[in-house]
Structure 1
Amino acid sequence: MDSTQRFTSAASKSARMRKLLDSPGLSFLMEAHNGLSARIVQDVGFAGIWASGFSISTALGVRDSNEISAGEVLDAVGYMADATTIPIMVDGDTGYGNFNNARRFVRQLCRLDVSAVCIEDKLFPKTNSFIGDEQPLADVDEFCGKIAACKDSQTDGDFSVIARVEALVSGRGLAEALDRGEAYRRAGADAVFIHSKSKDGKEILAFAEEWARRCPLVITPTTYHAVGVEAFERAGVSTLIWANQNMRASVQAMRDVSRAVFENNRLSDVEPALAPVKEIFDFLDYAELDEAGRRYLPAGAPEATS
């Protein structure tokens, strides 16, 4: 048994996600959207993964407006969970409907050995938070019931439900954001995710100061990325999500390569910037498949990777 397997048996993925959320220091999750990107996130050293709804939708060529179903998200997340041993927090949008849709989604995530889900207090079907100035929010009591239903339905005791507050994004102000966060905490949320699209991060820091570590606080500095992470740690933020950078990087890289090949009708210009095919074979452990084939296939059968 290797060290990864020993670590996995000693602490479940969900227990490790709880430890990240509850840590007195700042923890980091990195975005992934399929099995390959999830494996890369793990390989470079991140302790946890953010399965981004925006990125999964984008990878499938559709908009982040609930144009993909819960089942399609679960398919993508299943590959991610199978490819890695670190915990995954899934962007669950609004829970894909009412409390009943949300609790069914949680049960399915638990079956996939996913560690956490983040549910946001907007209306289904949702729109990406960075589109438009104001977006309708869910009724507080209705959303509290959705959180309670998710908590009552988890089949893994360490599974975490994170309540995402969209009041700042929707222009409702700090007071309503705090009231909503507190209501969701009382309803059973294991952490609160405060979201903002301001560029200076001041309203996030103000929220964190007033929040005063009542429960773990999660943020994603997509628009306020120039603020140093030390400021968030001092303010009591628990977990910081790098929410969409891998997807955006891949879009730019694919566009650059496709354009160069189209314009020049040759590969020599782009080959130096590409990962060698052998490196991909090695990264995805094709050698293990050959070894397993020798162990499990009858003598004389075709090679497993042929």
Structure 2
Amino acid sequence: MNRATSFLASGEVSSPTISSAILRELILSSDLTFLMEAHDGLSAAIAERAGFKGLWASGLSISSVLGYRDASEASWTQIVDIVERIVDATNIPVLVDGDSGFGNFNNARIVARKLEQRGAAGLCLEDKQFPKTNSFVGDRHALADIDEFSGRLKAVKDTTGPGFVLVARIEAMIAGHGIDEAIVRADAYAEAGADAILIHSRKPVADEILAFAKEWNNKLPVVIVPTKYYKTPVSAYRDARISTVIWANHTMRAAIAGMRHICDRIHAEQSVAAIEDEIAGFDELFRLMAYDELAKAEEQYLPKQTA
């Protein structure tokens, strides 16, 4: 049962403070944590039902379902609104991909405050200039000045509650720099108050990620996004004492593949008879959306029908 229906059923909803505490515990845990991408309430509910203990509100995925490119085209207000739907659809904490903060320190702290008000458990900011471009697109990835980005992090920490989780995402390797630059930035961001470091790479192997983790020596928890180096065994992350793995875009990409396949079939066959067994049934949809809770609530709150 999701947070919205839990409230309806019991009168209680997990507070943002509790969600942040759970997310912090997951990231600080000695066990490897996995966060699953969500881009709306439905994908969030599916991920929770699959067993994930936390969610990643992906900037790429949210932008894509809104019809925008992941290039700071979607506004922060649109992102915040969708995060609210993700939070309301589940009982697990949500770490939000906040891109580069949608501007300077002032924009970043406004976004963080609004996200915390809507129930997000934490925020991840990447050290790029605004507007940003997706890390896997092209070679124009201008990094923010270290001191200026540290100011963004400090502003977020000073604006949000003490439990709100702040992850600093380092794009040095995406921009073509080496591990030394990434370590310098990680040290500065730790000093600025970050709770964890997300180190990003677009290479097909995890060598530079694992080298960073060894050099960093777990000064703060390390978060990774193995979208490109997906063939690396998870045991390598455990051996490197990686804190958290984010599966950052997979439900959105799966939805694209599924919808494309079904649309092509229906267009070609001019019928849905042959594909009905390949798509989710209404029973599954209604379970995900807790229609049973609505039926119980109707019995409780609506007047009894008379013949």
Common fold: TM-score over 0.5: yes
Shift of 1:287: 2.0
Which of 151, 168, 177 is the matching residue for 1:163? 168
Structure 1 gap segments, 5+ residues each: 302-306
Shift of 1:284: 1.3
Preserved CA contact (<8 Å) 1:134 1:171:
no
TM-score between the two structures when normalised by the length of structure 1: 0.93
Output the CA distance in 1 between the equivalents of 2:197 and 2:284.
40
Output the CA distance in 2 between the equivalents of 1:121 and 1:228.
28
Shift of 1:290: 2.0
Which of 41, 57, 61 is the matching residue for 1:55? 61
Map of 2:125 onto structure 1: 119
Shift of 1:134: 4.3
Q: Structure 2 vs 1, CA of residues 254 and 283 (structure 1 numbering), >3 Å: closer, same or farther?
A: same
Is 2:186 the partner of 1:181?
Answer: yes
Map of 2:253 onto structure 1: 248
Which of 291, 295, 303 is the matching residue for 1:290? 295
Is 2:263 the partner of 1:234?
Answer: no
Q: Structure 2 vs 1, CA of residues 7 and 78 (structure 1 numbering), >3 Å: closer, same or farther?
A: closer
Output the CA distance in 2 between the equivalents of 1:81 and 1:158.
17
Output the CA distance in 2 between the equivalents of 1:279 and 1:22.
35
Aligned ranges 1:47-126 → 2 under 5 Å: 47-126=53-132
Preserved CA contact (<8 Å) 2:42 2:288:
no
Map of 2:265 onto structure 1: 260
Shift of 1:8: 4.8
Output the CA distance in 1 between the equivalents of 2:100 and 2:13.
33
Which of 280, 286, 291 is the matching residue for 1:281? 286
Which of 222, 225, 228 is the matching residue for 1:220? 225
Map of 1:201 onto structure 2: 206
Shift of 1:295: 1.8
Runs of 4+ aligned structure 1 residues displaced above 6 Å come to 4-7
Output the CA distance in 2 between the equivalents of 1:39 and 1:277.
15
Map of 1:128 onto structure 2: 134
User: Counterpart of 1:237 in structure 2: which amino acid?
Assistant: I
User: Counterpart of 2:286 in structure 1: which amino acid?
Assistant: F
SS state at 2:260 partner = helix
Shift of 1:7: 11
Shift of 1:25: 2.0
SS state at 1:12 partner = helix
Shift of 1:278: 2.1
Output the CA distance in 2 between the equivalents of 1:300 and 1:70.
46
Output the CA distance in 1 between the equivalents of 2:234 and 2:50.
19
Map of 1:13 onto structure 2: 19
Shift of 1:271: 0.6
Which of 137, 145, 156 is the matching residue for 1:150? 156
Structure 2 gap segments, 5+ residues each: none
Shift of 1:282: 2.3
Output the CA distance in 2 between the equivalents of 1:290 and 1:232.
45
TM-score between the two structures when normalised by the length of structure 2: 0.93
Which digits, 9 at most, give the CA deviation of each residue in 1:60-99, with x for residues without a partner?
1110011110010011110000010100000000111110
Between the two proteins, what is the percent identity of the paired residues?
46
Output the CA distance in 2 between the equivalents of 1:236 and 1:279.
38
Shift of 1:294: 2.5
User: Counterpart of 1:199 in structure 2: which amino acid?
Assistant: P
Output the CA distance in 1 between the equivalents of 2:208 and 2:279.
41
Shift of 1:104: 0.7
Map of 1:46 onto structure 2: 52
Shift of 1:297: 2.5
Output the CA distance in 2 between the equivalents of 1:253 and 1:56.
18
Which of 274, 296, 300 is the matching residue for 1:269? 274
Output the CA distance in 2 between the equivalents of 1:103 and 1:21.
22
Shift of 1:158: 1.1
